[in-house]
């Protein structure tokens, strides 16, 4: 995937709308509502194991903490994701880094880093 050094100004303005929609899909949606935000490579790497893992949690909160434009033109979003295990009802939070890339051929932003890792190694 070829990324532009810096997304056009208009693309930067459109990111807010995309990110609000992503936040809503994370907080209120199911996997089917999240998939359209994923880049092609991220979507191809989404296997049955990951899907089943995501079915075991409900997202109870999603909050952007910071936003930084990277040298390669991607936006890094640091977010806090709160989740509840549907079996134990235990709630926890994890801080994740998401990398968003502007896709000029689609005229849209895609989550280049894939779904957030809600199960980081401890």
On whether residue 49 sits in a domain, the answer given is yes
Model-level pTM? 0.88
> How many helices and strands (H and E) does the chain possess?
4, 4
On whether residue 38 sits in a domain, the answer given is yes
On whether residue 1 sits in a domain, the answer given is no
Spell out, as residue ranges, where the chain has pLDDT lower than 70: 1-6, 122
On whether residue 120 sits in a domain, the answer given is no
Task: Supply the pLDDT for residue 52.
Answer: 93
On whether residue 117 sits in a domain, the answer given is no
* CATH number of residue 78's parent domain: 3.10.450.50
Task: Supply the pLDDT for residue 122.
Answer: 55
pLDDT tens digit string along 59-93?
999 999 999 999 999 999 999 999 999 999 999 99
On whether residue 121 sits in a domain, the answer given is no
On whether residue 122 sits in a domain, the answer given is no
Where does the chain show beta strands of DSSP type E? 57-69, 75-85, 91-103, 108-111
For the CA atoms of 32, 35, 37, 42, what is the dihedral angle to 10 degrees? 170
Whole domain around residue 39: which residue ranges? Answer: 9-111
On whether residue 118 sits in a domain, the answer given is no
| Structural domains of the chain, count | 1
Task: Supply the pLDDT for residue 1.
Answer: 46
- Residue 30, classified by CB atoms within 10 Å of its CB into exposed (0-12), middle (13-18) or buried (19+), is exposed
């Amino acid at each position: 995937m070829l990324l532009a050094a810096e997304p056009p100004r208009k693309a930067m303005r459109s990111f807010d709308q995309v990110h609000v929609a992503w936040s809503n899909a994370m907080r209120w949606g199911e996997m089917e509502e999240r998939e359209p935000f994923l880049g092609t490579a991220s979507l191809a790497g989404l296997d049955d194991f990951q899907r089943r893992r995501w079915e075991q949690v409900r997202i109870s909160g999603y909050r952007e903490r910071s936003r930084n434009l990277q040298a390669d033109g991607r936006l890094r979003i640091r977010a806090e994701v709160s989740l509840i295990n549907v079996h134990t009802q235990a709630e926890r939070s994890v801080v994740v880094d998401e990398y968003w890339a502007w896709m000029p051929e689609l005229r849209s932003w895609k989550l280049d880093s894939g779904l957030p890792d809600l199960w980081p190694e401890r």
